[in-house]
């Protein structure tokens, strides 16, 4: 089932059989391209970028690699193949047949879930738009643009669902998605993390490591949805998302490698002096992005999440790994701030604490990556260790928001917190030093900025010094 890339909107959803829907999406398409040109990557729009484009939805051979100018990228609509007689795997509707249409009583909730996911996709493109000018290599520049065009495609995936299943309201939402802007004071994106500035490439790799990884867990949860078109759409997005996570995790690994090598050579352990990034600064960026991304999983106690779970709208990542898919009677013990500024154990019905299950899986996945980076540091002969801050640290949403915790998760006073904040989060001076290393793009094939090690391999079997971006 190869996809026809010459179609106006490449798709595997039989758009030709639904002329009204096709016309609506064809009317949205030029607005989308307008948006891309206006707030997508700054510069490079006429460059030939070695990008992959989805041409199938199978496990193998689903992508085609070739040079393409970004505004001409073939953004399309692809759903994973349907699973015959699929049933819902969780909640009060467990074992009932999955829905092929939107159930009337869940229309508002499903629309909200889809719009919230959709909004993050263009937001990240906007956040990353200025990074091309500071790229550490052609390899990295190409990866940035690959991530950007695929986030654009994820927007297409969600806008298709809105147009196809939500009528007029859905079309209005599709237009609104192109009207909000990351970081705008009057029309911001919906979630805080997606309004935060991504100013340098350390931010970018932290973003693709931690924020795209939140995306992965959200998509895994939505891939469980009883609403089958949403589930299938998210399944295929996960295939593309894997590369974004690779970019983040290996990007940090390569930075850490260079930092460790340089730190070991300098008698004062000063990496910046030799064109690399100090490891404690990397730790502070990590603290910032990890804590911000934990907020994306929502409150520790959430009646919305409980409702979505009970109704079969949004499950947990890899729901099949849980023993109890209904969670009607279970309880979970949470340690929450009590009246007297102490943490107290509180028993909460498991459904109300369902966000904690997703957050747990996310934290485990992040811990695995941190262990990998620490191995890289050890291999360079250094004893420094990176670590994830505690889940209570620096939270703006949920039960810990409004309280102060150190990175070990201990409750502290606001005065103590203010005194230590620069040890725990990037200071303006940290940011200035990182930016001091990133003042221009490195555009000679095979050349890399001083603060990052080259990757082990290139993309699509190409060598590391391949000309991943060609300028006119
Ligand atoms: Fe995405
Ligand atoms: Fe992504």
- Quote the ligand 1 centre to 402 CA distance (angstroms): 30
pLDDT band at 1 (very low <50, low <70, confident <90, very high): low
For 174, residues 6+ apart whose C-beta sits below 8 A from its C-beta are: 28, 159, 162, 163
**Could you say which ligand is closest to the alpha carbon of residue 244?**
2
- Quote the ligand 2 centre to 209 CA distance (angstroms): 9
8 lies in some domain: no
**Could you say which ligand is closest to the alpha carbon of residue 151?**
1
DSSP state of 211: I
Q: What are the C-alpha distances in Å from 324 to residues 158, 178, 299, 331?
A: 30, 40, 22, 12
Q: What are the C-alpha distances in Å from 48 to residues 44, 54, 462?
A: 8, 18, 16
Tell me the per-residue pLDDT of 296-329, one tens digit each, with 9 for 90 and over.
999 999 999 999 999 999 999 999 999 999 999 8
Instruction: Tell me the two tokens of residue 386.
Output: 């990176």
Tell me the per-residue pLDDT of 102-143, one tens digit each, with 9 for 90 and over.
999 999 999 999 999 999 999 999 999 999 999 999 999 999
- Quote the ligand 1 centre to 472 CA distance (angstroms): 29
Tell me the per-residue pLDDT of 139-194, one tens digit each, with 9 for 90 and over.
999 999 999 999 999 999 999 999 999 999 999 999 999 999 999 999 999 999 99
Supply the range of the domain harboring residue 373: 15-470
The tally of CA atoms less than 13 A away on the side-chain side of residue 227 is 27
Confidence at residue 121, expressed as pLDDT on a 0 to 100 scale: 97
Confidence at residue 258, expressed as pLDDT on a 0 to 100 scale: 98
- Quote the ligand 2 centre to 169 CA distance (angstroms): 26
404 lies in some domain: yes
- Quote the ligand 1 centre to 255 CA distance (angstroms): 24
For residue 232, give the CATH number of its domain: 1.10.620.20
Share of the chain above pLDDT 90, in %: 94
- Quote the ligand 1 centre to 341 CA distance (angstroms): 39
Average pLDDT over residues 37-46: 96
Closest CA to 256 of 379, 365, 423: 379
- Quote the ligand 2 centre to 207 CA distance (angstroms): 9
Average pLDDT over residues 10-34: 96
Tell me the per-residue pLDDT of 203-236, one tens digit each, with 9 for 90 and over.
999 999 999 999 999 999 999 999 999 999 999 9
Number of domains in the chain: 1
Average pLDDT over residues 56-82: 91
Confidence at residue 329, expressed as pLDDT on a 0 to 100 scale: 87
Torsion, Cα of 277, 279, 282, 286 (10° steps): 170
d(CA 247, CA 206): 10
24 lies in some domain: yes
Closest CA to 438 of 148, 107, 141, 52: 141
- Quote the ligand 2 centre to 356 CA distance (angstroms): 22
- Quote the ligand 1 centre to 121 CA distance (angstroms): 5
Q: Are 314 and 419 in contact (CB under 8 A)?
A: no
4 lies in some domain: no
Angle at 395 between CA 390 and CA 399, to 5 degrees: 95
Phi/psi region, residue 128 (left: phi>0; alpha: psi -120 to 50; beta: rest), is: alpha
d(CA 138, CA 183): 28
Tell me the per-residue pLDDT of 356-411, one tens digit each, with 9 for 90 and over.
999 999 999 999 999 999 999 999 999 999 999 999 999 999 999 999 999 999 99
Q: Which phi and psi (to 5°) does residue 227 adopt? A: -80, 100
Closest CA to 151 of 98, 86, 204, 92: 204
Confidence at residue 468, expressed as pLDDT on a 0 to 100 scale: 98
- The count of residues in the chain is 472
């Amino acid at each position: 089932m190869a996809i026809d890339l010459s179609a106006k909107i490449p798709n595997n959803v039989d758009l030709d059989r639904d002329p009204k829907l096709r016309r609506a999406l064809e009317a949205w398409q030029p607005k989308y391209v307008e948006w891309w040109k206006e707030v997508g990557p700054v510069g490079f729009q006429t460059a030939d970028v070695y990008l992959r484009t989805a041409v199938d939805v199978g496990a193998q051979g689903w992508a085609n690699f070739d040079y393409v100018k970004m505004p001409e990228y073939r953004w399309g609509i692809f759903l994973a193949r349907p699973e015959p007689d699929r049933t819902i795997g969780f909640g009060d509707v467990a074992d009932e047949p999955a829905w092929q249409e939107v159930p009337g009583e869940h229309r508002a909730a499903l629309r909200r879930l889809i719009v919230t996911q959709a909004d993050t996709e263009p937001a990240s493109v906007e956040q990353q738009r200025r990074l091309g000018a500071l790229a550490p290599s052609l390899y990295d520049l190409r990866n940035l643009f690959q991530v950007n065009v695929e986030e654009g495609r994820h927007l297409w995936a969600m806008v298709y669902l809105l147009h196809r299943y939500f009528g007029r309201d859905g079309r209005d939402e599709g237009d609104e998605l192109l009207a909000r802007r990351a970081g705008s004071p009057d029309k911001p994106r919906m979630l805080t993390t997606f309004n935060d500035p991504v100013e340098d490439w350390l931010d970018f790799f932290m973003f693709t490591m931690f924020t795209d990884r939140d995306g992965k867990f959200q998509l895994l949860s939505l891939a469980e949805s009883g609403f089958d078109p949403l589930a299938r759409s998210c399944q295929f997005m996960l295939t593309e998302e894997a590369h974004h996570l690779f970019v983040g995790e290996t990007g940090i690994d390569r930075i850490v490698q260079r930092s460790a090598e340089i730190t070991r050579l300098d008698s004062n352990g000063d990496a910046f002096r030799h064109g690399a990034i100090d490891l404690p600064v990397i730790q502070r960026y990590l603290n910032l992005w990890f804590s911000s991304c934990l907020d994306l999983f929502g409150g520790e106690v959430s009646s919305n999440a409980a409702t979505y779970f009970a109704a079969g709208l949004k499950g947990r990542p890899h729901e099949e790994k849980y023993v109890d898919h209904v969670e009607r009677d279970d309880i979970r013990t949470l340690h929450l701030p009590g009246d007297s500024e102490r943490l107290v154990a509180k028993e909460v019905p498991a459904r109300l604490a369902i966000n904690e299950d997703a957050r747990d899986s996310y934290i485990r996945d992040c811990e695995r990556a941190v262990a990998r980076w620490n191995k890289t540091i050890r291999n360079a002969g250094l004893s420094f260790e990176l670590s994830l801050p505690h889940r209570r640290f620096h939270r703006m949403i949920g039960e810990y928001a409004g309280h102060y915790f150190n990175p070990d998760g201990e409750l502290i006073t606001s005065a103590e917190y203010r005194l230590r904040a620069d040890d725990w989060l990037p200071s303006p001076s940290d940011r200035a030093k990182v930016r001091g290393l990133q003042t221009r793009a490195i555009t000679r094939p095979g050349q890399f900025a001083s603060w990052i090690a080259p990757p082990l391999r290139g993309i699509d079997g190409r060598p590391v010094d391949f000309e991943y971006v060609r300028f006119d």
